C-alpha cells in the first residue's frame, strides 16, 4: 500500500485532534514550570485495549516525567493514520502495530520498531450468533478499522488460513476503529468483526459469538510496540533511550500493581464497569506482555510473508531492516530489568 499525504501535511494531526479531543488523555498533570525542564515528546497510540495499558500506566505513574520527558499521549484511530502523521513529522514516537511500521518503510519511510510489547496477534474474531464457524463467513461482511491497519492484517491473515479470500469471499468494511466495529456488530449491521480483548468481552456479554482468539494461533508476531523513524532515533537517541527506560518501568508497574492498572484502563477506555478491565489485566499482565519487549526478526517475518502476496518489495525485504533492538538490549544489560523485578 502507499501512504498519501495531503498537500498541507500539517493538517493531519490538527484534524485528528479535532475529531478525537475527547479521547486524548494528558495523564498526570505537569505544571508549567516542570514542563519547561522536561523534553517534549509527541506519542500516538492507535488502539484501546490491554496492549496499550503499560504505556498508559507509565504516563499515570509518572515514569516519563521521572526520566525527564513531557510525553503527550494522543489517541489516533488507526495505524495507517499514525504512519501518515509520522511521515509528516508531526509525531516523534508511536505505540502501534508492526505491520504499520513495516508498510510505511516499504512505501519509502524509515520507520522501525524499537520494542515489541506483545509478540502474539491479540485480536478476536467476533460474529453474530448466526455464524457457527469460519465457513459461514463466506458472502458476509467483516468489520475492520482501516485498510493497511493491524486489524486489516489480522482479518486477511485468518481468512486466508481458513481458505477464504479477503474481499472476494468476505467483504472487508472500514469502520474507523475497533469501538465502531463493536458498535456495528451490536447493531447487526455487519456479520463479523476484528475486536480487541475489551470489546470482545463486552460482545460476548451481548450474546455475540467469538470464533477465534488469534493470540492462541501460535504465531510469533510483532503486534504492538514503540515505533519511530530512524532519523528521529539517530537525532534524539537520548530521548529515545529515556522513553524506552520509562516504558520498561511502566511494564513492571503494570505487572506488579493490579489496582492501578485496572483503574488506568478504565480511565483511558472509558469503562464504567471494572469487569472488562479486570479481565484484560489478567490476560495481558500474566500471559502476553513480556518483561523484556525486544523486537525480533522472527516477529517481523510473518508480516512480510503476508504482505508479500501483494507487494514484491515485501518478498525481497530483510526483516532485520525493520527493527532497532539496541535500546532494550542496552537497558537489559545494564541490570535495569533485574532491579525492577528483584531476584
Cα 197 from Cα 48, distance rounded (Å): 9
Q: Higher pLDDT residue, 207 or 148?
A: 207
Q: Are 126 and 232 in contact (CB under 8 A)?
A: no
What architecture is domain 11-119+221-341? Answer: 3-Layer(aba) Sandwich (3.40)
Q: What's the grid cell of residue 85?
A: 502523521
The full set of domain ranges for the chain reads 11-119+221-341, 124-217
Report, as an integer, the average pLDDT of 267-277.
90
Confidence band of 19 (pLDDT split at 50, 70, 90): very low
Q: Write the Ramachandran bin of 146: left for phi over 0, alpha for psi from -120 to 50, otherwise beta.
A: beta
Q: Higher pLDDT residue, 92 or 201?
A: 92
Matching fold, domains 11-119+221-341 and 124-217: yes
Sheet holding 111-113, edge to edge: 69-75, 39-45, 93-96, 225-229, 111-113
Q: What's the grid cell of residue 21?
A: 479531543
Quick one: how far is CA 35 from the chain centroid? 27
> Which pLDDT score is estimated for 156?
92
Claim: this prediction has a pTM higher than 0.75: yes
Kindly state the DSSP code that residue 153 receives in the 8-state scheme: H
Query: Residue 223's CB: how many other CB atoms inside 10 A?
Result: 27
Residue 102 confidence (pLDDT) above 60: yes
> Which pLDDT score is estimated for 30?
61
Q: Which segment, 73-77, 107-111, 147-151, 229-233, is predicted with the most confidence on average?
A: 229-233
The tens digit of pLDDT for each residue in 234-254 reads 999 999 999 999 999 999 999
Residue 25 confidence (pLDDT) above 70: no
Long-range contacts from 269-276, C-beta under 8 angstroms, 24+ separation: 269/48, 269/49, 269/198, 271/198, 275/201, 276/198, 276/201, 276/202
Report, as an integer, the average pLDDT of 165-170.
96
Largest CA distance in the chain: 60
Confidence band of 28 (pLDDT split at 50, 70, 90): low
- The DSSP secondary structure of 239-262, one letter per residue, reads HHHHHHHHHHHHHHHHHH-HHHHH
Between CA 295 and CA 74, with CA 39 as vertex, the angle to 5 degrees is: 65
Q: Higher pLDDT residue, 5 or 122?
A: 122
Residue 31 confidence (pLDDT) above 80: no
Mean pLDDT of the chain: 88
Cα 101 from Cα 111, distance rounded (Å): 6
Kindly state the DSSP code that residue 144 receives in the 8-state scheme: E
Identify the CATH homologous superfamily for domain 124-217. Periplasmic binding protein-like II (3.40.190.10)
Cα 174 from Cα 119, distance rounded (Å): 25
Report, as an integer, the average pLDDT of 162-176.
96
> Which pLDDT score is estimated for 144?
96
Confidence band of 51 (pLDDT split at 50, 70, 90): confident
Residue 74's H or E segment, with its range, is strand 69-75
> Which pLDDT score is estimated for 148?
76
Percent of the chain whose pLDDT exceeds 70: 90
Report, as an integer, the average pLDDT of 2-29.
40
Q: What's the grid cell of residue 96?
A: 502501534
Cα 168 from Cα 317, distance rounded (Å): 28
Report, as an integer, the average pLDDT of 9-18.
40
Amino acid at each position: 500500500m502507499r501512504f498519501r499525504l495531503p498537500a498541507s501535511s500539517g493538517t493531519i494531526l490538527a484534524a485528528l485532534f479535532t475529531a478525537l479531543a475527547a479521547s486524548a488523555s494528558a495523564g498526570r498533570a505537569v505544571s508549567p514550570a516542570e514542563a519547561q525542564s522536561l523534553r517534549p515528546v509527541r506519542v500516538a497510540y492507535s488502539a484501546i485495549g490491554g496492549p496499550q495499558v503499560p504505556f498508559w500506566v507509565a504516563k499515570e505513574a509518572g515514569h516519563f516525567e521521572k526520566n525527564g520527558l513531557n510525553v503527550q499521549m494522543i489517541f489516533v484511530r488507526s495505524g495507517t493514520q499514525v504512519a501518515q502523521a509520522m511521515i509528516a513529522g508531526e509525531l516523534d514516537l508511536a505505540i502501534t502495530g508492526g505491520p504499520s511500521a513495516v508498510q510505511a518503510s516499504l512505501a519509502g519511510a524509515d520507520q522501525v520498531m524499537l520494542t515489541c510489547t506483545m509478540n502474539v496477534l491479540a485480536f478476536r474474531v467476533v460474529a453474530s450468533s448466526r455464524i457457527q464457524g469460519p465457513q459461514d463467513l463466506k458472502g458476509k461482511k467483516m468489520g475492520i478499522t482501516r485498510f493497511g491497519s493491524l486489524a486489516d492484517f489480522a482479518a486477511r491473515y485468518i481468512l486466508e488460513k481458513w481458505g477464504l479470500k479477503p474481499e472476494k469471499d468476505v467483504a472487508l468494511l472500514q469502520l474507523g476503529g475497533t469501538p465502531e466495529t463493536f458498535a456495528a456488530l451490536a447493531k447487526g449491521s455487519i456479520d463479523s468483526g476484528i475486536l480487541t480483548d475489551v470489546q470482545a468481552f463486552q460482545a460476548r456479554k451481548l450474546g455475540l459469538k467469538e470464533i477465534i482468539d488469534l493470540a492462541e494461533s501460535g504465531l510469533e508476531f510483532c503486534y504492538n510496540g514503540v515505533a519511530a523513524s530512524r532519523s528521529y532515533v539517530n537525532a534524539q537517541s537520548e530521548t529515545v533511550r529515556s522513553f524506552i527506560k520509562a516504558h520498561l518501568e511502566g511494564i513492571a508497574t503494570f505487572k506488579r500493581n493490579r489496582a492501578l492498572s485496572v483503574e488506568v484502563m478504565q480511565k483511558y477506555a472509558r469503562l464504567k464497569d471494572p469487569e472488562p478491565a479486570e479481565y484484560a489485566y489478567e490476560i495481558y499482565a500474566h500471559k502476553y506482555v513480556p518483561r523484556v519487549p525486544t523486537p525480533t526478526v522472527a516477529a517481523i517475518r510473518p508480516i512480510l510473508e503476508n504482505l508479500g502476496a501483494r507487494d514484491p518489495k515485501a518478498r525481497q525485504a530483510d526483516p532485520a531492516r525493520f527493527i532497532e533492538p539496541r535500546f532494550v538490549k542496552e537497558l537489559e544489560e545494564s541490570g535495569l530489568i533485574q532491579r525492577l523485578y528483584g531476584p
